[in-house]
Amino acid sequence: MYLLSERAFQVLCYTFTPNFQIMQQHTFGNTSEMVSHAGYDRDKHVLYLTYHSGPTTIAYRNVTPSLWEELLKSAYPDVCIRFKIQAHHPFRRVEPAFRPLHYSFVK
């Protein structure tokens, strides 16, 4: 078991606290069997992926804007997620699970 100093804990919590107002969002629809929603905080370089199983949201640190753009343009997002994001970026589970903002009330 690892113990964090109070300062390290504050930095860790700040890193994984989503700011939904500045976050870019994407819904995968039927293109992904693993992930339903994604959110990207360009200022903090944190990618939030909400998985179909759960739903569970995982925050991945140090994700570059170019990798975010690649994920959005990918014909096979599950491959990009598994081999370029999950395999190379530190992660942490986020509670509650991230959901995209709904703008149905705006006409």
Provide φ and ψ at 72, rounded to 5°.
-65, -35
**pTM of the predicted protein model:** 0.73
Number of structural domains found in the chain:
1
Question: 31-60: b or e for each residue (b if 16 or more CB lie within 10 Å)?
Answer: ebeebbbbbbbeebbbbbbbbeeeeebbbb
Report how far residue 85's alpha carbon sits from residue 102's, in angstroms, rounded to the nearest whole number: 26
Residue 35 in domain: yes
Residue 4 in domain: no
Q: Are 94 and 18 in contact (CB under 8 A)?
A: yes
Residue 56 in domain: yes
Q: Are 27 and 35 in contact (CB under 8 A)?
A: no
Residue 11 in domain: no
Share of the chain above pLDDT 90, in %: 52
Pick the more confident residue, 63 or 29: 63
Residue 14 in domain: no
**Domain with 54 in it:** 21-94
